[in-house]
């Protein structure tokens, strides 16, 4: 093949332009810090970069949701802490007010303080966070609690749950409704006997009944039906429980149902005879049931009325029990809330770890190795200068050069 001067010139120019393009690419990488600018630079890497960026973006949004949920729940816990302080003071007043030696003036002063605490409790129940009422359920723009003309509390929220998605496919309830916080259901325990034909009889015997720390003895006469046993329980342990006979699941059968009047489990044992064991009361499983509402505003109103009327037995009895049951419920609610907050913090920590790993993979995929690029750039600059110099010497030759 005959190599002409034009071929030599074209080859030199192609080589120079090739080196220039490589040099330009390295300079661009060094300026941007990225080795992928267009999909054609690395098709597989481009796909990976897109996936990494999507995942990192999702984690960022989930972390924002977690921060929002944490703020809401911490604000709720602070409000419930204030409720606990109010109720602790009410409990102190109730115990002190149960002293029958107090004067009318003293009792009225205590009642006035309870009334003020009740108003403070109302303010706490209407706590706002970022313009939203935290105890209103999903009706966050509606003030949840108010007193009507009869000085009774009225709840205007709902029982809706507010959820936040904290990771893909996983949501967490962040709110506590006003019903849960200020009108919780009373927790009771119930146990059922075995089912028996209607005319079955038992006894005689004596059953020891224990509810919490309270104990009662129930005497059952000979040839007692389930109705007779229920009456015996109600007559001899009516302060602790209530008993009734209901139809069984099989036609013609009946069973005894016993439910506590306080939030404590119940136990039975036969002191004389075997009525409790033969009916199944000692072996059948107890279930948690919910009866009525434990309205904290109503409790405080009743305490105020009891103080003004000098009803000390009510103060030391039912009112103190209601306060203790409500505070137990409050502590349990705050414990569940704390567990949710801890779970969110753990979820966020895991998400942050994942984000760090994804960011590292993203960097390895699209970011340059600065040291390598600088070294290659220096090398290529030398090559480029050499190609320019050699090309210049060759392209400067004329016909006279060849005739020498």
* Mean of pLDDT over the chain: 84
Q: Quick one: pLDDT band at residue 62, thresholds 50, 70, 90?
A: confident
Please name every residue paired with 244 in a beta bridge, in sequence order, or none if there are none: 257
Rounded Cα–Cα distance for residues 388 and 375 (Å): 20
What is the pTM for the complete model shown? Answer: 0.72
pLDDT tier at 224 (50, 70, 90 boundaries)?
very high
Which tens digits make up the pLDDT trace of 146-203?
Answer: 999 888 899 999 999 999 888 888 888 999 999 999 999 888 999 999 999 988 999 8
Mean pLDDT score, 108-117: 96
- Residue 32: what pLDDT? 59
* Higher pLDDT pick, 306 / 3: 306
Tell me what the mean pLDDT of segment 300-324 comes to: 93
From the number of C-beta atoms within 10 Å of its C-beta (0-12, 13-18, 19+), residue 31 rates as: exposed
pLDDT number for residue 56: 74
Angle at 235 between CA 231 and CA 238, to 5 degrees: 105
Q: What is the mean pLDDT of residues 84-98?
A: 96
Examine the pLDDT at 16 and tell me if it is beyond 80.
no
Q: For the ranges 25-39, 50-64, 221-235, 277-291, which has the lowest average pLDDT? A: 25-39
Q: Average pLDDT in the 339-343 region?
A: 91
Q: What is the pLDDT of residue 327?
A: 95
Q: In the chain, where are the structural domains located?
A: 55-184+294-353, 186-292
Rounded Cα–Cα distance for residues 399 and 404 (Å): 9
Of the pLDDT bands very low, low, confident and very high (cuts 50, 70, 90), residue 349 is confident
First-to-last C-alpha distance (Å) of the chain: 25
| 55-184+294-353 classified as CATH 3.40.50.2020 | no
């Amino acid at each position: 093949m005959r190599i002409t001067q034009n071929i030599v010139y074209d080859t030199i120019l192609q080589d120079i332009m090739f080196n220039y393009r490589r040099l330009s690419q390295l300079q661009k990488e060094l300026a941007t810090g990225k080795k992928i600018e267009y999909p054609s630079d690395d098709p597989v890497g481009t796909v990976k970069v897109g996936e990494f960026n999507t995942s990192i973006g999702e984690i960022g949004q989930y972390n924002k949701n977690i921060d929002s949920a944490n703020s809401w729940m911490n604000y709720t816990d602070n409000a419930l802490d204030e409720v606990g302080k109010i109720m602790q003071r009410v409990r102190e007043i109730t115990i002190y007010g149960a002293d029958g030696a107090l004067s009318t003036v003293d009792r009225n002063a205590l009642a006035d303080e309870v009334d003020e605490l009740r108003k403070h409790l109302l303010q706490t129940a209407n706590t706002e966070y970022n313009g939203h009422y935290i105890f209103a359920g999903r009706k966050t723009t509606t003030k949840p609690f108010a007193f009507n003309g009869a000085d009774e509390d009225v709840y205007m929220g709902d029982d809706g749950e507010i959820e936040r998605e904290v990771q893909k496919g996983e949501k967490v309830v962040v709110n506590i409704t006003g019903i849960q916080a200020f009108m919780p259901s009373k927790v009771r325990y119930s146990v059922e006997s075995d089912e028996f034909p209607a005319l079955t009889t038992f006894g005689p015997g004596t059953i020891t009944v224990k509810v919490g720390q309270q104990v009662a003895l129930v005497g059952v006469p000979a040839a007692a039906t389930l109705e007779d046993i229920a009456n015996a329980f109600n007559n001899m342990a009516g302060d602790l429980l209530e008993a009734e006979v209901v139809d069984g699941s099989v036609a013609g059968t009946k069973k005894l149902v016993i439910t506590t009047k306080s939030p404590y489990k119940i136990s039975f044992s036969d002191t004389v005879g075997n009525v409790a064991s033969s009916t199944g009361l000692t072996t059948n499983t107890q279930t948690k049931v919910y009866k009525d509402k434990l309205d904290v505003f109503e409790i405080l109103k009743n305490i105020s009325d009891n103080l003004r009327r000098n009803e000390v037995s009510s103060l030391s009895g039912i009112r103190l029990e209601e306060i203790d049951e409500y505070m137990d419920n409050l502590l349990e609610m705050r414990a569940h809330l704390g567990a949710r907050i801890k779970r969110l913090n753990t979820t966020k920590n895991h998400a942050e770890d994942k984000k760090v790993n994804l960011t590292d993979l993203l960097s390895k995929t699209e970011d340059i190795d600065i040291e390598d690029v600088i070294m290659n750039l220096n090398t290529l600059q030398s090559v480029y200068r050499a190609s320019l110099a050699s090309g210049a010497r060759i392209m400067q030759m004329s016909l006279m050069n060849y005739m020498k």
